[in-house]
Amino acid sequence: MEKTFLMVKPDGVQRNLVGEIVARFERKGFKLAGAKLMVIPSTLAEQHYGEHSDKPFFGELVDFITSGPVFAMVWEGEEVIATARQMMGATKPQDAVPGTIRGDFGVTVGKNVIHGSDSPESAEREINLFFNEDQMVDYKKENLAWVY
């Protein structure tokens, strides 16, 4: 089953949105495979956002993502990578449709509440950056017979 890396950003943690965001993916029918509250070291932040290292906002982005605890998660399910991106909403808040996480909770492009992997390659890369194999849980979820 496909896996993706999702993370409630420091603004989402401070705004008490962890439960709200976890609930959306749970209710959708996806399965939580790993989760931890952590403060991201700046070296990890620079690796995670490496594709943006030449952008003018890179320094600000690294400062923001390391500014407080994040809630890092691995979620599992059919087409979970693309579907989670849809559930998150667009990067720019003015393009994020109401009903999506960013559409409902984000106002600025920087403080947009959630990160999610944008492709199978980035999902694998980001899961490996944030989680060791022994930090993920492989288990049977009985309600999935009613999802699939």
Work out how close the CB of 13 gets to ligand DAT at its nearest, in angstroms, rounded to a whole number.
15
**Measuring CA to CA, how many Å separate 93 from each of 53, 65, 71?**
22, 18, 21
Q: In the complex, which residues of this chain contact ligand DAT (CB under 6 A)? A: 52, 57, 61, 91, 109-110, 112, 115, 118
In angstroms, the first-to-last Cα distance of the chain is: 12
Residue 115 catalytic?
yes
By a kind-dependent CB cut-off of 5 to 8 A, residue 110 interacts, out of Mg ion, ligand DAT, none, with: ligand DAT
Please return the burial class of 32, using the count of CB atoms within 10 Å of its CB with bins 0-12, 13-18 and 19+.
middle
Binding mask 74-113 for Mg ion (x = CB under 5 A): ----------------------------------------
d(CA 116, CA 112): 11
Given the residues 93, 115, 126, 130, the one annotated as active site: 115
By a kind-dependent CB cut-off of 5 to 8 A, residue 3 interacts, out of ligand DAT, Mg ion, none, with: none
Q: Quick one: 35 or 123, whose CB is closer to ligand DAT?
A: 123
**Measuring CA to CA, how many Å separate 76 from each of 1, 6, 13, 53?**
6, 11, 22, 29
